[in-house]
Each structure stands twice: as C-alpha cells, then as structure tokens.
Structure 1
Amino acid sequence: MDDSDLLDLAARLAQRAADAIMAVRAAGFAVEAKRDLSPVTAADRIAEALIVDGLREATPGIPVVAEEAVEAGLAGGPAARFWLVDPLDGTREFAAGETSFAVNVGLVVAGRPHLGAVALPAHGEVFGGIAGLGAWKRDAGGQRPVRARRAPAEGPVVMASRHYADDPRIADFARARGAARVVHIGSAEKFCRLAEGAADLYPRFGTTMEWDTAAPEAVLRAAGGEVAQWDGTPLRYGKDDWRNPPFLARGLA
C-alpha cells in the first residue's frame, strides 16, 4: 500500500467507528471507570475493535498501538512505523451528550505523524491528510481540500479544552495575542478547526497522550499548520509513557 491507500484505509475505518459510536449513543450505554478513573464506554471498546482488527487485517506488517489496549497492558511498543489509535477521543463529552468527540487513526513514521484521519461522529465529518501532500474534509457535501489560515486582522480565534475553561493560563494566552474569541470544546476537533481555517491557535498546557494528537497533528501539518512544544521543538512519538509535553498548535504563521 502507498500513502494514499493507507490514508484511505484510516479514513474508512474512522468512519466505520464513527457510525458504531453513534449507534451506541442511540441505543444507550453505561459509563465505567478505567484504572486511572477516566471514563470508558461500550462505544470506546467497539470502535477500537473495529479499527484495530481492520488495520491488522489490511496492514499486518505495521504494529497497532491503541488507547484501550495500552490502558489494559495489552499493547506492544512503538516501531519505526506504527499506527496510533484513539477510538473515542473525548469520552467525557460523548457521555455527557456533547458533540465534540472524535475518532483518531494516525500513522507514525520515524517518530513523527505522517498521515492521519479524524472523524467527528456527531458532526458527520471526516478529515484526512498526509504531511506535505495536503489535507481534506469530507461531509454530506462531499470531499474538498482544506487549508489552515493566517490569523485575521481582528485577532486569532483560540481553541481550548472544555475541561480547562477556568485555567487562567488560557485567558492570559488569549489576552497576550489579542484574540478575537476563545472557543472551549473537547477532543481532536480543535485541530480540525485549525486545519480548515476556522480557528488559529490551540495552546495546550495540560497532559495529553500520543494517541490524542498523532492523527490530528498529521491533518493539521498537511493543511499547512504546525504543532510544537513551547520551545519550538516538534512533538516526538513512541515515548515509553506515551505522554505528550505541553504544546502549541497553530495555523499558518
């Protein structure tokens, strides 16, 4: 498979998982707690099984690292090339009846996100991209290219986590950059809004995991944006603990 085939696979599986997630929401579900006390639902498990099984069948030579398997101690370590999967990014939002949750399927090559697909089930959208080759958005209107933008003259739109709405660092960041407004939502949707030119900056001060960011970083980079630590160092993938340092995602500089 070439990169185009791999992205098509990732997008197809992300869409299948998105459909399954919405079916679980329609049927009703229970919310359980994982070992770290974060929530998990049947939607997380069903979506992960669909994606992991599909990736392993289609690309048996590429290891798959997925969130729930890692949490259960069942996932292997990273390789020179491996899939990183978050089957339901934003479980809290999903469980609360919100709309900002996502499905992330990303391919990491040599420690960096190379391509990825992000589905936004509640919005009926899928974003995809290959670093250096462009990004796209697919919805009920079809598929079209997307591109990050330069911040408008009236000030940038800042995306921030819904769970950090009261963090004074977000307000300080927005004020220092003359932000037009701050939008608080959950999940990888924030990266997607930067990728399509609907927002400009996403500062992250708290902890994220690599499966939270691999696919959406690939999409944003493909759309012309970037993600880096606060000192400008690129995020690296395949770390022992899978944790990301704080970072800043941005559209066109």
Structure 2
Amino acid sequence: MTDTTDRTALLATLVALAEAGGDVVWGHFVAGCAVMHKADESPVTIADREAEAVILAGLATLTPAIPVVAEEEAAAGRVPDVTGAFLLVDPLDGTKEFVGRGDDFTVNIALIEGGEPTMGVVYAPARDALYWGDVTRGAWMAARKPHEPRHDEQPIRVRACGGAPCAVASKSHAMPGLDDWLDAGGIATRVSVGSSLKFVLVASGEADVYPRTGPTMEWDTAAGDAVLRAAGGRTLDPDGLPFVYGKPGYRNTGFVATGGYEPAPLRPYLP
C-alpha cells in the first residue's frame, strides 16, 4: 500500500471503525454486562463480541481485500490464511480494567505490512482519548467522547530522553524480571497503566519506555505499537532487534517499546 490516497482513506476507515467499536463498548460499560471466560480462562464480555462484530462488518465492506485476524474470532478458531498485509483487531484490550470499572481499556485496530505495524488506532472511550498514526505520515491524538465528534486534534511525537527516564508498566500483570531490568537501567519513575495505553503514553511523550517481560498476543500490541512507530518510537525484541508480527499463533514474547530512551536488551531478565 504505497498510494497516498489509499493510505489516507484506509486510516480514516480504521479510525471511524475504532470509534464505532468504542461506542459499543461504552454502552456496555455504562449499562454493565456479564463476564464469561474463554478456554484459556481469560475474561470476555458481550462488549468484546459486539464491538468486534461491528468492526469486522465494517472492514468486510470497506477493506474486503485485506485479511483480518481478530481476537474473538481467533478464540473461536476462525483465523484466515495470511501471506501479505493483514489487519489485527482487539475490540476490547484491558477487559480486566473494563470489568473492574476502571478507565484503562481500549479498542485497537492495526495494519501489518512486511511484519511491521505500519498503521494503527487506539481508542480509550472512558478517557475520551483517541490516538492514531501511519508510519509514512505521523501520529495524532484527539479528544473524543463516545458518540460525539472528535476535537482538539494535535500531532504527537516521542520525547527526547535527556534526564531521568520514566517507564510505564502493566497495571494488571506482575512481570518477572521487570524490576531488575528497570533498576539496572536506573529507571526510578514508573507509571502503572493498563491496556495499549502504555504504548501511546510513550508515543505522546508522556513517558519514555514500556518494557514487558511477560507474554502477550499480537492483537494486544499492534495498534499501540503502530502509533508509537508513527510518532518516532521503536519496539524491540528481547535481543534488541526490531519486533516483528505474523509470528506463529500470533504470540508475543517480551519486548521493549521506547521513544528517545536507549534501552538495554531484555533477554537476561526474561523468566
């Protein structure tokens, strides 16, 4: 996808569908909904499933040529064959925060090209915050309340790290080896936040680095990672190499997402 018009139109489509999915999620958050569990014991709600259905219906109409790997479809065993570019969808990242009435949950859509997340949208309806980006054009954020037009759009960029770095870490998961990695890097300031918001805090210059020693799935990380890369950041694998997508089972190992901070390899600190 090299044509500027095509990329602009696709990004606009992904933003609009993330907003639509977020509106569905918000409706269930306000009303409350029952929690079920998938085969791996992870929580799932009707909000996950209905938001994903809205997003997939839109993608099937507007981008039918691009395969889609979506979290709830994958849980049901429906995963398309992928040989080129594809989309990753997580309709509700941070289900634990959603169920616990927190505001750290997001809707995520990303485009993967050549193993790299090149375009992505992260919408946090409970925070009235929308982030999106394309590595060929840059990244932006805006205020966006559910069911209302977005406003106050502004470009975002990772910050230079000239002083004491600030790290963001998971709110819901203990990470073996993480404290040791942070201590070795002299990182004393840590902010705890859930979901893909960790990526966009680095992308918007509110933090410097997001290390993760535990496993995730690619749909958990791709959209935030795309926004970060569009904002001038990087995501590295445990050996300090570029973090790639389209791995077997769409499973991630540890990684370090960073802005201007130069991180040490994560490998020695993995469990």
Contact 1:79–1:238 (8 Å) recurs in 2: no
1:162 to 157, 171, 174: 171
Deviations 1:145-201 (A, max 9, x none): 000012241x11111111334x46222222222224111221100001000000011
2:41 to 1, 16, 37: 37
- What is the aligned partner in structure 2 of residue 11 from structure 1? 15
Matched, 1:83 2:64: no
The RMSD of aligned alpha carbons is 1.4
Q: Secondary structure at the match of 2:110?
A: strand
Q: Secondary structure at the match of 2:17?
A: helix
Shift of 1:119: 0.5
Q: Percent identity?
A: 45
Q: Report the Cα distance in structure 2 between the residues aligned to 1:200 and 1:226, rounded to whole angstroms.
A: 11
- Structure 2: runs of 5 or more not aligned: 145-150, 262-271
Q: Give the paired residue count.
A: 251
Shift of 1:20: 1.0
Contact 2:176–2:213 (8 Å) recurs in 1: no
1:252 to 234, 252, 260: 260
Equivalent residue letter for 2:29: R
1:71 to 61, 72, 75: 75
Deviations 1:104-149 (A, max 9, x none): 1001112211101110111111111111421000115421100001
2:224 to 200, 209, 216: 216
Shift of 1:50: 0.8
Q: Secondary structure at the match of 2:177?
A: helix
Equivalent residue letter for 1:163: S
- What is the aligned partner in structure 1 of residue 201 from structure 2? 193
- What is the aligned partner in structure 1 of residue 147 from structure 2? none
2:60 to 43, 56, 60: 56
Q: Report the Cα distance in structure 1 between the residues aligned to 2:101 and 2:59, rounded to whole angstroms.
A: 29
Q: Secondary structure at the match of 2:172?
A: helix
Contact 1:20–1:47 (8 Å) recurs in 2: yes
Equivalent residue letter for 1:5: A
Q: Report the Cα distance in structure 2 between the residues aligned to 1:249 and 1:197, rounded to whole angstroms.
A: 13
Q: Secondary structure at the match of 1:142?
A: strand
Q: CA 1:23–1:171 in structure 2 vs 1: closer, same or farther (change >3 Å)?
A: same
Q: Report the Cα distance in structure 2 between the residues aligned to 1:49 and 1:222, rounded to whole angstroms.
A: 27
Deviations 1:205-252 (A, max 9, x none): 001111111111110000011001021222222222110121000012
Equivalent residue letter for 2:241: T
TM-score by length of 2: 0.89
Equivalent residue letter for 1:201: V
Q: Report the Cα distance in structure 2 between the residues aligned to 1:148 and 1:210, rounded to whole angstroms.
A: 22
Equivalent residue letter for 2:89: V
- What is the aligned partner in structure 1 of residue 160 from structure 2? 150
Shift of 1:4: 1.2
Shift of 1:78: 2.0
- Structure 1: runs of 5 or more not aligned: none
Q: Report the Cα distance in structure 2 between the residues aligned to 1:77 and 1:123, rounded to whole angstroms.
A: 35
